[in-house]
Chain A
Amino acid sequence: MSTPTGAPAPDPRDFLRLDGLLSDEEQLLRDTVRRFVADRILPEVGTWFDEGRFPSRELAPELGRLGLLGMHLEGYGCAGSSATAYGLACLELEAGDSGARSFVSVQGSLAMFPIWRFGSEEQKAEWLPRMAAGEVIGCFGLTEPDSGSDPGAMRTRAVRDGGDWVLNGTKMWITNGSVADVAVVWARTDDGVHGFIVPTGTRGFEAHDIHKKVSLRASVTSELVLTDVRVPESLRLPEVRSLRGPLSCLNEARFGILFGAAGAARACYEAALDYAGERVQFGVPISSFQLTQRKLVEMMVRVQKATLVALHLGRLKDQGLLAPAQVSFGKMDNVREALWVAREARSVLGANGITLEYPVIRHMNNLESVVTYEGTNEVHTLVLGQALTGIDAFAPG
């Protein structure tokens, strides 16, 4: 079919021909992750979600062989891809499930990135190749029970004792916590905030899984309890002594999320588009109804816009021009739009929209976590407000 101008009719799944913005290499990489997700994630993720588990040990080496773990880092066994390529991988993973994307985000952007960016040569050589291969799983300990959006209020302390450091405190909402071999733990010291590489087998380190979640169920979330955990100075990250360290990691992870959200939204929109074409009521497919068509159109427009924003921010990052406030733009808007799309798609699917036979309710529930983790919608709004006005509105008074 072609239009009167001779241009080909738009593809409902790529309405603005955004594929044309990707190089052949990026398309191959994207297609590879999409195929992996179709083969390895989608057939089982409904069951994982239902049972509240994620087969981390099984999948980590497979993700490692693909090159997904720490893929945008250079050297030490990492693939060294562009930021845009990393984003596209996150988009495809999250079109499968936010849990799969979270696993990869945490491993690459939160556990490997600080070692790569702030670690010593010895630390990088020891940890990064095994983490890139998926042999060693990492987690990231910043958030605490009473310190979420305000990481400066953290209570976890590290005290120097001879050649060692002794860590005490509790970390909360830690993705991969109980399956991790190593935790990058941030702690207050007499000399600023420091990061420590803590092997999870160290005496005094405990991880307890958080149960009764109804979101991100195909993902391991834990509490870390550190009681007189003793690590040598050689496991302290030498190149950082402030909150700038962990915040820069979060900035990396948020970059992946703003792509991932576009993927979750796409999955919901496509599920709704397919369903609306097949579901017959009053003798016609429900896609015949004007109200349904409006929903499909609004979803499609939001998915395309989110993807465009993501790609644009990816290109900026690859040019070294991406500011943290611009990442906030993408994280804030793409996740809220994805949540809107998920809820709208769920209404198109009617009762079927609430079962795990379809992906929609799973994405919808997952996005309820994604909208608050790695900076809540409110925090990102204030980051943008500060960027616009020059006035910091975080702490009233």
Chain B
Amino acid sequence: MNVVVCVKQIPDPADPGALDPTTKTLKRDGKLILDESDSYGVEMALQLVTAAGGGEVTLVSMAPNGEVSGLRTALAMGAAKAILVSDDALAGSDALGTAKVLAKAIERVEGADLILTATESSDGYTGTVPEQVAGLLDLPSVTFAKHIEVDGSTVKVQRQTEAGYDDVECPLPAVVSVTAGVVEPRYPSFKGIMAAKSKPVDTLTVADLGLDASQVGWAGAGQEIVSIEEAPAREAGEVIEDDGTAFEKIVAYLDNLKVL
């Protein structure tokens, strides 16, 4: 059982992020960490490999620089190796450009039975890359998995819905996106942390993948960010003095928001 997990390294959400006024995108020049939403896919993959009794987890990631600290976190959790596509030409990639790169990188992993992703990244939030990767690889795609079980050459997925979940099955290999919070990502063990530095990270360029630089980054992007604006400052809340009828006003307020 070999599982590929697509992971993204993002600026630490604990640090105040900033948008670059020139490129109108998130500044990514500082240290990058493993996107927390990807840690669930990594954990799920490790559990599936253990349940299968063999195989390994391979990470696939792309970044405009050679940053690997987020990958080391996932390697310390137990992934065996990583492919990092790192190329200046990747700056400005939109979701489809990202998917093209990831799909090409995934094709280089021999014997991949299952490809896991998060449902969306915590910095970009497009939520479209998993389906695009599946489309480019011509593989079945299942989204919002809360539980995954592999049975021979079939994957059985509990697919989260607003009402509960659907049981979905499809043949392997397949691309499955994992909902955040459905498993408890393990802490990297100290042995894992020390072993991670000697695990292979294969760093590739866009050209290594057989892609032309015009297909990715700003050059290949089908979208343009026209303008960016500061988020409006939070307005002061409404203060209700309780004269004995405060509950009515609160109920009316909530009713107006249609949350009751």
- Taking Cβ atoms with an 8 Å cutoff, the residues of A that contact B are 24-25, 27-29, 32, 35-36, 65-68, 71, 79-81, 85, 89
CA distance A65 to B192 in the complex (A): 11
A25–B187 touching, CB < 8 Å: no
Q: Told that A28-B76, A67-B189, A81-B194 touch, could you supply 10 new A-B pairs with CB distance under 8 A? A: A25-B193, A25-B196, A27-B69, A28-B73, A29-B193, A32-B76, A67-B190, A67-B191, A79-B194, A81-B190
A36–B187 touching, CB < 8 Å: yes
Q: How far is the CB of A101 from chain B (nearest CB, A)?
A: 16
Q: Is B197 an interface residue (CB 8 A)?
A: yes
Q: Is B64 an interface residue (CB 8 A)?
A: no
Query: Which residues of chain A have C-beta atoms less than 8 A from B187's C-beta?
Result: 32, 35-36, 65-66
CA distance A25 to B214 in the complex (A): 36
Q: Mark B190-217, 1 if CB is under 8 A from A, else 0.
A: 1111101100000000000000000000
Q: How far is the CB of A42 from chain B (nearest CB, A)?
A: 15
A-B contact pairs, 7 of them (CB 8 A): A25-B196, A27-B69, A32-B188, A32-B190, A65-B187, A67-B190, A68-B190
Q: How far is the CB of B189 from chain A (nearest CB, A)?
A: 5
Main secondary structure of the interface of A (DSSP, over half): helix
Knowing A28-B72, A28-B76 are in contact, say whether A79-B197 is a contact too (CB < 8 A).
no
Nearest CB to that of B75 among chain A residues? A28
Query: Which residues of chain B have C-beta atoms less than 8 A from A35's C-beta?
Result: 187
Query: Which residues of chain B have C-beta atoms less than 8 A from A66's C-beta?
Result: 187, 189-190
Query: Which residues of chain B have C-beta atoms less than 8 A from A68's C-beta?
Result: 190
A28–B189 touching, CB < 8 Å: no
CA distance A32 to B196 in the complex (A): 14
Query: Which residues of chain B have C-beta atoms less than 8 A from A81's C-beta?
Result: 190, 194
A80–B193 touching, CB < 8 Å: no
A24–B69 touching, CB < 8 Å: yes
B189–A65 touching, CB < 8 Å: yes
Q: How far is the CB of A273 from chain B (nearest CB, A)?
A: 16
Give the most central of B72, B187, B188: most A CB within 10 Å. Answer: B187
Q: How far is the CB of B43 from chain A (nearest CB, A)?
A: 14
Q: Mark B162-199, 1 if CB is under 8 A from A, else 0.
A: 00000000000000000000000001111111101100
Nearest CB to that of B68 among chain A residues? A24
